[in-house]
């Protein structure tokens, strides 16, 4: 099995041919491997062919969509034999369509085509070379092999041969007369890295995407540290299970699954969104940790006195004025809540001692809370 890199346009042409071949291989349960490893954008050289001298020379580079994929076939077997090659007779000798490329078939160029299965030699046009695990070879007529295995082997062997020729032309290059077939794109990682650099220095602002694009054109690639950070963000979004439409679009763009040809505001905002998501996930982690630790304190109607730290968890306007919601956490991680119009004149996170009456036990976000009333701060 081999790995190949090519332009997306060439890859789409190859895919169509491969699907026809795969149908034939599936019909005979012949194994093969075909996987897309990644899609990305890259600078690809453009060549011009001189029609008079038939020579080619490079005229420039364009950034286009590219694909890296792996493709491999295992030898097709007929009993104890695998298919080595398909032979086709011509006036100048036999054409050899190679299936198993590990074997030298040069001796078959001038051989008369025959069938070792039925023993006949009558003016054959095609024959198949079979090879066993000991390296022994035999030539079998097309008709005999089809009757024996139920499918025309030379049919998909011809496809394999054609695929081999196409793969030889899959290199990352474009000819100037076909540039119009390609969609020009911006390299995602380089653009994202440039946006990270700007965000760290100036923060996110509207129009940053265009500034980043101008910087890329004038100064080239950013420093490696920002390239590494861009890969870190792309790798995060690769496995991040987004449900919000904006986050889904961000994931598709920063991972290269959706390419872009002009400055993209979603990618420019991605470093800021990445930080917000990490903050949210950390708060969720802390909430889950609190949910596992927090227990109910006291019984409803009884007073408790306890040492705690506090924060203002929120508040709202009521017909009686503004109501503050205080959240207390004791040394064991237990959570207590007090709703009041009073104000605690101390810095949050300060340790204080409170006395209050337990009015309720409830859960909020899975965290057990002890609700207090008539709280006094020592």
Query: Is the domain of 146 the same as that of 285?
Result: no
Q: What's residue 273's pLDDT?
A: 97
Domains in the chain, number: 4
Could you tell me the CA-to-CA distances from 271 to 193, 223, 276 in Å, in that order? 9, 16, 9
Query: Is the domain of 328 the same as that of 209?
Result: no
d(CA 111, CA 90): 11
Radius of gyration of the chain (CA): 35
Structure tokens at 313: 């968890």
Examine residue 156 and state whether it is found in any structural domain, yes or no.
Answer: no
- Reported as a single tens digit per residue, the pLDDT across 37-71 is 888 888 899 999 888 888 889 998 888 888 999 98
Q: Is 187's pLDDT higher than 70?
A: yes
Query: Is the domain of 93 the same as that of 214?
Result: no
Examine residue 158 and state whether it is found in any structural domain, yes or no.
Answer: no
Query: Is the domain of 23 the same as that of 64?
Result: yes
Query: Is the domain of 204 the same as that of 261?
Result: yes
Examine residue 129 and state whether it is found in any structural domain, yes or no.
Answer: yes
Burial of 183 (0-12, 13-18, 19+ CB in 10 A): middle
More confidently predicted of 295 and 166: 295
Instruction: Give the closest residue to 192 by CA, choosing from 273, 277, 279.
Output: 273
Query: Is the domain of 28 the same as that of 87?
Result: no
Q: Is 160's pLDDT higher than 70?
A: no
Examine residue 294 and state whether it is found in any structural domain, yes or no.
Answer: no
Query: Is the domain of 274 the same as that of 193?
Result: yes
**pLDDT (mean) for 303-329:** 90
Q: Is 92's pLDDT higher than 60?
A: yes
Query: Is the domain of 174 the same as that of 316?
Result: no
Q: Which of 258, 289, 320 is the last residue of a domain?
A: 289
Residue 19 pLDDT class (50, 70, 90 cuts): confident
Query: Is the domain of 265 the same as that of 328?
Result: no
Query: Is the domain of 45 the same as that of 177?
Result: yes
Structure tokens at 207: 């129009």
Q: Where in the sequence is the domain holding 11, given as residue range(s)?
A: 2-71+168-181
Q: What's residue 118's pLDDT?
A: 80
């Amino acid at each position: 099995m081999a790995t190949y890199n090519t332009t997306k346009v060439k890859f789409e042409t190859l895919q169509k041919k491969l699907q026809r071949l795969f149908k034939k291989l599936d019909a005979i349960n012949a194994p093969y491997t075909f996987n897309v490893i990644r899609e990305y954008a890259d600078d690809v050289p453009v060549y011009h062919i001189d029609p008079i001298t038939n020579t080619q020379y490079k005229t420039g580079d364009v950034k286009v969509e590219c694909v890296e994929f792996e493709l491999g076939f295992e030898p097709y077997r007929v009993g104890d034999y695998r298919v080595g090659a398909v032979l086709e007779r011509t006036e100048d000798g036999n054409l050899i369509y190679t299936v198993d490329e590990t074997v030298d078939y040069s001796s078959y160029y001038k051989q008369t085509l025959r069938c070792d299965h039925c023993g006949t030699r009558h003016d054959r046009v095609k024959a198949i070379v079979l090879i066993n695990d000991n390296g022994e070879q035999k030539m079998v007529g097309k008709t005999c092999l089809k009757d024996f295995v139920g499918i025309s082997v030379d049919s998909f062997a011809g496809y394999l041969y054609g695929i081999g020729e196409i793969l030889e032309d899959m290199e990352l290059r474009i000819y100037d007369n076909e540039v119009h077939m390609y969609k020009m794109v911006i390299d995602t990682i380089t653009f994202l890295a440039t946006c990270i650099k700007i965000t760290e220095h100036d923060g996110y602002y509207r129009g940053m995407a265009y500034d980043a694009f101008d910087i890329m054109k004038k100064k080239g690639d950013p420093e490696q540290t920002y390239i590494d950070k861009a890969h870190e963000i792309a790798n995060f979004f690769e496995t991040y299970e987004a449900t919000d439409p904006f986050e889904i679009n961000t994931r598709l763009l920063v991972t290269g699954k959706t390419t872009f040809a002009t400055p993209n505001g979603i990618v420019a905002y991605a470093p800021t969104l990445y930080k917000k998501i990490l903050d949210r996930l950390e708060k969720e982690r802390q909430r889950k940790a609190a949910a596992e630790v927090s227990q109910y304190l006291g019984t409803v109607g009884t007073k408790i006195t306890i040492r705690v730290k506090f924060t203002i968890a929120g508040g709202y306007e009521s017909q009686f004025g503004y109501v503050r919601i205080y959240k207390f956490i004791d040394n064991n991680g237990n959570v207590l809540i007090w709703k009041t119009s009073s104000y605690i004149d101390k810095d949050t996170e300060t340790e204080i001692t409170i006395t209050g009456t337990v009015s309720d036990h409830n859960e909020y976000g899975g965290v057990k809370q002890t609700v207090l009333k008539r709280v006094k701060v020592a």
